[in-house]
Amino acid sequence: MPCARMAGITLRPTDPMTAPFRSPVMPHQMLLSAAFPTQFGSKPITYAEKSRQNDGLQFGGLFTCVFTTADQVKSQMAPADFRTMIETHIDAK
């Protein structure tokens, strides 16, 4: 399953995407999620995701995806315009 898609490029997870739940998610309450990049290699990007509800962390994790050519599922270098846009948001925490 792709992480994201854009004009002929797909980000595919390199590891199983699992997020350990720390407490139950209540469907009738708002769930606030945030994702931010933590590392950016020549082909992979790693990002952290955190989801909160009622001021408590419900689940989160680190995920790594690789840039691939969508129709061939072949890894490729990160597009320069995408790299420029994302590198300013890398959070090393």
Q: Which residues contact 49 (CB under 8 A, 6 or more apart)?
A: 19, 33, 34, 35, 60, 61, 63
Angstrom distance (rounded) from CA 74 to CA 59: 31
Domain 4-23+30-87 part of CATH 3.40.50.12280: no
User: Over the chain, what is the mean pLDDT?
Assistant: 78
pTM equals 0.68
pLDDT at 18: 66
Q: Which residues contact 56 (CB under 8 A, 6 or more apart)?
A: 22, 23
Structure tokens given for 30:
């708002």
Per residue in 7-44, pLDDT (tens digit) is 555 556 566 666 778 888 888 888 898 888 888 888 88
Angstrom distance (rounded) from CA 68 to CA 23: 35
Q: Domain limits of the chain?
A: 4-23+30-87
